[in-house]
DNA sequence: GCGCTGGGTGATTGCCGTTTAGTAGCCTTC
DNA sequence: GAAGGCTACTAAACGGCAATCACCCAGCGC
């Protein structure tokens, strides 16, 4: 009880955390909560509490909540981009590269489900539209890498149907649909995930690409 | 100023709206707002205002907000179910029936985008999980009709790969992915929708079904 | 010493869904 | 025809949310 503190035990004000290091702390805390509890679960207050700072303080470092979470998503998507770059540099058949990319995409989505949802399923009040621009640019880079490989397939005349763009987008859409449904409806009586992936990709390639 | 009213001009209380007719009014107002502004835009207060009633009154007729909106979705999905039933009764090739169903599914999703989103993309704070049970049952019926047709294809040995379940789910997922992305990212440089639909479905059928 | 500035604060605003406690009017039942 | 009860309704409030406001204070260059 007897307080030996000069200042009464009051504010416990967090010391300055000079410069951008506080920013990193916030991102770290936000990431923990966001990954565990998703977009709605990661509230400004919870993040601030975890850092040990008032909720207002977060607005010193970020414009709003979405800026925090999108920055987290950015670094997740960087990972996907890196994978795509790495794959597109491999000296193997373009078809194999496209397949590897789609496979990596699915794995990425399932492993980074909350980031994936925020970026690719965001709607309904989240992330109003334009704020995503930075993140979307990253996504576009991933898409470009992917389309580049599909274009090679098209250039060698092995696209069974559609244009390069429509074939690429159809492949993307199909994979997105699989992971989106798996994430959204985890309780549905799905066939084993690996089988689903196989059937979808096999069918897609057989249907869109000639040997 | 001089009020000639017995009761001061106060409550303008909405008369009883006896029985379930008020319920219908609420659903109608909710549907208007929900279709125009989506899940987040359709707030309890806005709906109540539109009906001309206090927000509390809505809780006389519905357990919570989700019950209102899901009931709207239910009637939308009934439509899809009706289409699927009608298609599955047609005396045509099973492959053609499956294709018609998927095509109807895509059209349905694009035309009832808010209902579709709520039922098939619901996540992030919406519709916490179990509340969807009634709606999900309807969705399952649609899926069953669909799987029935796919099963016929499988029974006649024309499934190029996968089991009946995995092939059906892959087809569903692919179509879901297309509409989900089109709805979520309307500003992306998509190929013309009709071409995308065509390429996706053609590829899928060519890849999963043998003549 | 002085003032500026950047990181910090508590209180407040304006939404939201939902709950509580109470009320107005009809329907029985005596 | 009064008493009681039921049903549809209400205003006010609660707790949570993102975001803003007006202020505070330590450290720095001068």
Quick one: B104 and B183 in the same domain?
yes
The reply to whether B2 falls in a domain is no
User: Residue B133 has what pLDDT?
Assistant: 85
- Residues (pLDDT < 70) of chain A are 1-20, 124-126, 128-129
Which residues in chain B have Cβ-Cβ distances shorter than 8 Å to A167?
A: 199, 203
**Position of tokens 């194999």?**
A96
Contact between A199 and B208 using a beta-carbon 8 Å cutoff: yes
Residue A3 CA distance to nucleotide C10 C1' (Å): 24
CB B14 under 7 Å to nucleic chain D: yes
Q: What is the 3-state secondary structure (H, E, C) of B79-142?
A: HHHHHHHHHHCCCCCHHHHHHHHHHHHHHHHHHCHHHHHHHHCCCCCCCCCCCCHHHHHHHHHH
Identify any residues that bridge with A209 across adjacent strands, giving them in sequence order: A159
Instruction: State the pTM of this model.
Output: 0.90
The reply to whether A165 falls in a domain is yes
Quick one: A97 and A127 in the same domain?
yes
User: Residue B16 has what pLDDT?
Assistant: 61
User: Residue A131 has what pLDDT?
Assistant: 80
Judge whether A207 and B207 are in contact, CB under 8 Å. yes
For B105-158, write each residue's pLDDT tens digit.
999 999 999 999 999 998 756 676 678 888 999 999 999 999 999 999 999 999
Quick one: A56 and A77 in the same domain?
no
User: Residue A127 has what pLDDT?
Assistant: 74
CATH number at residue B129: 1.10.357.10
What's the angle, vertex CA B91, arms to CA B155 and CA B200, rounded to 5? 65
For B45-84, write each residue's pLDDT tens digit.
999 999 999 999 999 999 999 999 999 999 999 999 999 9
Quick one: A125 and A75 in the same domain?
yes
For B21-42, write each residue's pLDDT tens digit.
889 999 999 999 999 999 999 9
pLDDT value at B8 more than 60 = no
Quick one: B33 and B94 in the same domain?
no
Quick one: B167 and B86 in the same domain?
yes
pLDDT value at B13 more than 70 = no
Contact between B174 and A173 using a beta-carbon 8 Å cutoff: yes
| Residue B21 to chain A, least CA–CA distance (Å) | 30
* Rg of the Cα atoms in chain B: 22
User: Residue A121 has what pLDDT?
Assistant: 93
| Percent of chain B clearing pLDDT 70 (strictly above) | 88
Contact between A198 and B163 using a beta-carbon 8 Å cutoff: no
Quick one: A202 and A106 in the same domain?
yes
User: Residue A18 has what pLDDT?
Assistant: 57
The reply to whether B3 falls in a domain is no
User: Which range marks the domain in which residue A135 is found?
Assistant: 69-208
Over residues B184-203, the mean pLDDT reads 96
* Cα separation of the two ends of chain B: 83
A31 DSSP assignment: H
The reply to whether A2 falls in a domain is no
Phi then psi for residue B90, to 5 deg, are -70, 140
The two tokens of residue A117 are 């949802």
CATH number at residue B34: 1.10.10.60
Quick one: B52 and B90 in the same domain?
no
| Residue A5 to chain B, least CA–CA distance (Å) | 44
pLDDT value at B3 more than 70 = no
Q: What is the 3-state secondary structure (H, E, C) of A4-25?
A: CCCCCCCCCCCCCCCCCHHHHH
Rounded to whole angstroms, how far apart are CA atoms B33 and B42? 6
Judge whether B134 and B108 are in contact, CB under 8 Å. no
Give me the count of residues in chain B.
211
- Domain ends where: A20, A35, A62? A62
- Domain ends where: A43, A62, A81? A62
The two tokens of residue A9 are 């035990």
Cα A76 to Cα A113, A138, A142, distances in angstroms:
10, 10, 12
The two tokens of residue A33 are 């909560």
Contact between B174 and A169 using a beta-carbon 8 Å cutoff: no
pLDDT value at B90 more than 50 = yes
Q: Closest nucleotide to B62's CA, by C1' atom?
A: C18
Residues with Cβ within 8 Å of residue B88, at least 6 apart in sequence:
B97, B101, B145, B148, B149
By C-alpha distance, the chain B residue nearest A126 is B124
User: Residue A125 has what pLDDT?
Assistant: 60
Quick one: A31 and A89 in the same domain?
no
The two tokens of residue A130 are 């334009």
For A169-210, write each residue's pLDDT tens digit.
999 999 999 999 999 999 999 999 999 999 999 999 999 999
Phi then psi for residue B16, to 5 deg, are -55, -40
The two tokens of residue B48 are 């109540």
User: Residue A20 has what pLDDT?
Assistant: 67
Quick one: A112 and A42 in the same domain?
no
CA quadruple A7, A13, A15, A18: dihedral sign? negative
Other C-beta atoms closer than 10 Å to the C-beta of A211 total 7
User: Residue A134 has what pLDDT?
Assistant: 87
What's the angle, vertex CA A65, arms to CA A60 and CA A67, rounded to 5? 80
Rounded to whole angstroms, how far apart are CA atoms A191 and A197? 10
* Rg of the Cα atoms in chain A: 22
For B163-185, write each residue's pLDDT tens digit.
999 999 999 999 999 999 999 99
User: Residue A2 has what pLDDT?
Assistant: 33
Residues with Cβ within 8 Å of residue B42, at least 6 apart in sequence:
B30, B33, B34, B65, B69
A128 interface with B at CB cutoff 8 Å: no
Residues with Cβ within 8 Å of residue B125, at least 6 apart in sequence:
A38, A39, A40
pLDDT value at B18 more than 70 = no
Rounded to whole angstroms, how far apart are CA atoms A54 and A35? 22
The reply to whether A35 falls in a domain is yes
User: Residue A75 has what pLDDT?
Assistant: 94
Number of compact structural domains in chain A: 2
User: Residue B127 has what pLDDT?
Assistant: 74
> Which of B16 and A194 is assigned the larger pLDDT?
A194
Quick one: A48 and A93 in the same domain?
no
Rounded to whole angstroms, how far apart are CA atoms A70 and B96? 43
A57 DSSP assignment: G
Quick one: A143 and A179 in the same domain?
yes
């Amino acid at each position: 009880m007897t307080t030996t503190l000069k200042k009464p035990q009051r504010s416990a004000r967090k010391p300055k955390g000079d410069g951008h290091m506080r920013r990193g702390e916030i991102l770290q805390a936000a990431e923990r909560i966001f990954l565990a509890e998703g977009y709605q679960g990661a509230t400004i207050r919870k993040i601030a509490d975890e850092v040990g700072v008032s909720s207002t303080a977060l607005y010193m470092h970020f414009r709003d909540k979405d800026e925090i979470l999108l920055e987290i998503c950015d670094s997740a998507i960087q990972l996907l981009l890196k994978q795509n770059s790495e794959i597109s540099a491999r000296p193997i058949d373009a078809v194999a590269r496209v397949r590897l990319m789609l496979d990596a995409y699915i794995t990425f989505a399932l492993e980074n489900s909350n980031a994936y949802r925020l970026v690719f399923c965001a709607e309904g009040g989240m992330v109003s539209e334009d704020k995503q621009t930075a993140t979307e640019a990253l996504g576009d880079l991933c898409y470009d890498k992917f389309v580049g490989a599909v274009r090679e397939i098209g250039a060698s005349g092995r696209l069974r149907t559609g244009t390069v763009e429509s074939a690429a987008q159809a492949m993307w859409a199909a994979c997105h649909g699989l992971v989106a449904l798996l994430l959204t409806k985890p309780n549905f009586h799905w066939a084993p995930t690996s089988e689903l992936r196989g059937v979808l990709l096999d069918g897609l390639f057989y249907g869109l690409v000639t040997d």
